[in-house]
């Protein structure tokens, strides 16, 4: 009955809502500029199809989840604003995937990838502070699944995808604009600057180590950091507040871990290492969160047993003394 249903939990705190809103606006503007001026190669209709897929999947799964939990959907009760705020993550995921993946003319591959990315938030979850939270970066996971399932059809959008029609100093302005806006968002709203420091510092470390031990050209290994795709990844993908740690030390370790795994994948000559490294570290974090949950459960079950055994032990000791 409706009277017995729980109220919908808050989607995010106001600071995160602001961050998601600005991320959504930024990626929307960048997609628009990409189609108008930068040389995006996907058809104009594809971002709209991606958005429709993400919105539909998010809403349907939320309704199903709300019924199973006996609560109201998280977008209910706040009108249009509540729905818009609820769909911010799906909006970001859809546009990021359409922008970063290239599947030739196979639009259904892109649709499947967006569906997997949004759906994974309901499957790949781990307990955090008593609640199940998704731990796999949605857009990155969707891209990885497309690359794994359709290796002959799909690839990452080529570097020139972002500056194909820009061949002068304006290209540097694009990189600078993304860098400045992304840094401000992460410094003021998401609080993920320690993660960025960990990622960038160990990215340099792995490049130097590969150069010394395996003969890799260090300038070439570091050169990818000057590209638009790298800057977008650093400021808008790896810093996803929903799938990354909050404490500074954990953030730094998370970013450093991605750089380390990326370096290992490069040594093994595995393509698209950046995306596979992110998925791998997210998976490791999810398994770690589940292990903490089981350890805490075991401790909670052990402590009551110890308490209940204490009186009987004391009584037995008293009987020995009396004898």
Tens of pLDDT, residues 53-96: 999 999 999 999 999 989 999 998 788 999 999 999 999 999 99
pLDDT(226) > 50: yes
- Residue tagged 């008593």 (tokens): 130
**Which residues lie closer than 8 Å to 261 by C-beta, 6 or more apart?**
273, 276, 277, 280, 281
pLDDT bin (cut points 50, 70, 90) of residue 171 is: low
Summarize the confidence of residues 226-232 as an average pLDDT: 84
Residue 158's φ and ψ, nearest 5 degrees, are -65, 160
Q: Which of 165-169, 221-225, 288-292 has maximum average pLDDT? A: 288-292
Summarize the confidence of residues 164-191 as an average pLDDT: 78
- Residue tagged 């249009």 (tokens): 80
Contact between 51 and 45 (Cβ < 8 Å)? no
Token duo for residue 13: 């705190």
% of the chain with per-residue pLDDT over 70: 88
Tell me 268's DSSP state: T
Summarize the confidence of residues 232-259 as an average pLDDT: 93
3-state secondary structure of 137: coil
pLDDT of residue 47: 95
pLDDT bin (cut points 50, 70, 90) of residue 168 is: low
pLDDT(216) > 80: yes
pLDDT of residue 252: 97
Average of per-residue pLDDT values in the chain? 86
Q: Which of 145-149, 159-163, 222-226 has maximum average pLDDT? A: 145-149
Higher pLDDT, 204 or 128: 204
pTM, 2 dp:
0.85
pLDDT of residue 188: 85
pLDDT(304) > 80: no
Q: Which helix (H) or strand (E) holds 155?
A: strand 155-156
pLDDT of residue 318: 46
* Residue 131, strand partner residues: 128
pLDDT bin (cut points 50, 70, 90) of residue 24 is: very high
Token duo for residue 109: 């591959």
């Amino acid at each position: 009955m409706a009277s017995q249903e729980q109220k919908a939990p808050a989607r995010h705190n106001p600071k995160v809502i602001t961050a998601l809103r600005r991320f959504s606006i930024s990626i929307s503007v960048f997609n628009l500029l990409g189609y108008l001026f930068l040389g995006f190669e996907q058809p104009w209709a594809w971002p709209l199809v991606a958005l429709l897929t993400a919105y539909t999947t998010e809403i349907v799964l939320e309704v199903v989840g709300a019924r199973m939990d006996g609560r109201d959907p998280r977008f209910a009760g706040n009108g249009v604003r509540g729905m818009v705020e609820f769909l911010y993550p799906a909006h970001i995921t859809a546009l990021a995937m359409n922008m970063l993946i290239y599947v030739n003319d196979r639009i259904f591959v892109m649709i499947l990838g967006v569906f997997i990315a949004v759906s994974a938030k309901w499957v790949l979850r781990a307990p955090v502070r008593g609640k199940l939270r998704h731990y796999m970066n949605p857009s990155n996971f969707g891209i990885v699944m497309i690359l794994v399932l359709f290796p002959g059809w799909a690839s990452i959008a080529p570097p020139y995808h972002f500056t194909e029609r820009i061949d002068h100093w304006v290209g540097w302005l694009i990189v600078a604009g993304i860098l400045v806006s992304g840094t401000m968002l992460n410094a003021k709203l998401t609080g993920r600057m320690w993660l960025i420091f960990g990622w960038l510092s160990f990215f340099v470390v792995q490049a130097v180590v590969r150069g010394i031990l395996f003969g890799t050209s260090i300038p070439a290994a570091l050169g990818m950091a000057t590209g638009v795709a790298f800057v977008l990844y650093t400021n808008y993908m790896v810093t996803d507040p929903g799938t990354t740690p909050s404490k500074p030390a954990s953030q730094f370790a998370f970013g450093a871990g991605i750089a380390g795994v990326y370096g290992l994948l490069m040594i093994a000559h595995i393509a698209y290492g950046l995306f596979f490294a992110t998925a791998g570290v997210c998976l490791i974090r999810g398994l770690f969160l589940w292990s903490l949950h089981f350890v805490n459960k075991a401790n909670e079950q052990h402590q009551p047993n110890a308490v209940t055994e204490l009186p009987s032990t004391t009584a037995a000791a008293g009987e020995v003394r009396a004898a």
